[in-house]
Amino acid sequence: MEVANVFREQRCARECNEPRPVVSRGRGVAISIAVAIVLSQGISVRAQVPGRPQVPASQNQSTAIQQSESASQQDADGELQTGTSLTRKGLFREAIPHLLAARGRSANEYAANFNLALCYVGSSQFKPAIELLNGLRGSGHESADIENLLAQAYIGNEQPQPGLASLQRAAALSPRDEKPFAFVAEACRDHEDYSMGLRVVDLGLRNLPRSARLHYERAMFLTQLDRFDQAKPEFELVGKLAPASEISYLAAAHKAFFEGDIPGAIRAAREGVKQGYENPALLTVLGDALIRSGVVPGQPEFSEAQAALEKAVAQRPNDSASQIALAGVFLMTGRIGDAIAHLEKARQLEPGNQSVYANLAKAYQRHGDLKQAQDALATLQKLNQAQADRISSAPGDRRMGYAGQGVADEETSPAHRPANQ
């Protein structure tokens, strides 16, 4: 899952009050987070000074034990610091071993456990996240952050009702905070439960009727449910509630894109970037829209698209949508090896994304690796069949959402589906 991702303003333990920009997340990917590095508490160990009176052997042994324990705690705090730094970069899987090493030994056990749970959610390991977060709740650590992350974990584990209960507890603890609703809504979108996502957003809008972000989320869900006529006024309301803001440029770019107004999408995304809002979601829309406008290698606009997508991937490497879009650019320029590398990264992040395999089949075929191309096509066929089965069996709103996605072919790009915030 990048967890945005993705994924993804979710705080690592120790507090940080400044939200990060809205970010693009691929399905199953990364949580969007705003974190502060957990600083290890420096521990000084006093050494024996030559010439001073010697202490009894028992005291020497006690001092040695204390020094050993202090050194162990320093090591654990270092692991916590490293793990938190990796978490801040969205490198959830890489952070997990360091946070595991810090557990039970660090001076800040809560930080180690909370950050580990965040990484589990960001890497789609929902069951251990649920167990860890419920353990924190049971030990007296009740907070909106824990309930928010727990709600996302339950949604990821296909337990919507406990997820909704956790969200309601988060809202009760922090009723004027839009982030729990936005994050849980994104988790619903990651797992294609669009009707639940709409329910989550509507619940948030009862408390925060003028939240531009929640109206943006509502527009995205309505689009997923093939109710774009209802989504359009929601996109427009975002611009009225938060004019000239990052979320307003993102809403304008998506609205134009979904209407088929590619020049309009380019204008809105360009203007947002020009104003300094260079977050991965906006950069990905800009790059994808430029490519869809028909630019080819050698044109300035093609270079602009490539630069935007490269910047998006650099900022949020765990976003599968940006990885796939950049791979498409490399396919157009003949950089097949680079395209395959980015597509394989996208497959790791989002193994159920059909467009990954459609593009992988094309890339491997051009690379001369027919077996890998055939394997990718076989996986694509299985995913298309699974989606057809879900469409036929899904009730109500979920059927509309699945049908709106269609099936992937070799020209499928991430922008065929709404890019996550």
Q: pLDDT tens digit string along 95-109?
A: 999 999 998 888 788
Q: Taking the model in full, what pTM does it have?
A: 0.71
pLDDT at 394: 58
pLDDT at 84: 92
* Secondary structure letter of residue 54 according to DSSP: P
What value does the CA radius of gyration of the chain take, rounded to a whole number of Å? 24
Q: Is residue 230 part of a domain?
A: no
Is 325 found in the same domain as 178?
Answer: no
End residue of a domain, out of 187, 204, 219: 187
Q: Is residue 46 part of a domain?
A: no
pLDDT at 190: 80
Range of the domain at 162: 1-39+68-187
To which residue do tokens 């949580």 refer? Answer: 31
pLDDT tens for residues 135-169? 999 888 888 999 999 999 999 998 999 999 999 99
Query: The CATH number of the domain where 337 resides is what?
Result: 1.25.40.10
pLDDT at 99: 93
How many helices and strands in the chain, by DSSP H and E?
A: 19, 0
- Structural domain total, the chain: 2
Is residue 57 packed enough to be buried (19+ CB in 10 Å), middle (13-18) or exposed (0-12)?
exposed
Q: Is residue 367 part of a domain?
A: yes
Contact 1, 353 (CB under 8 A): no
End residue of a domain, out of 187, 202, 230: 187
Interhelix angle 228-241/246-259, rounded to 10 degrees, is 150
Q: CA-to-CA distance for 419 and 421, rounded, in angstroms?
A: 6
Is residue 193 packed enough to be buried (19+ CB in 10 Å), middle (13-18) or exposed (0-12)?
buried
pLDDT at 416: 40
Q: Collapsing DSSP states into helix, strand and coil, what is residue 163?
A: helix
**Residues in the chain where the model's pLDDT stays below 70:** 1-73, 393-421
End residue of a domain, out of 144, 162, 187: 187
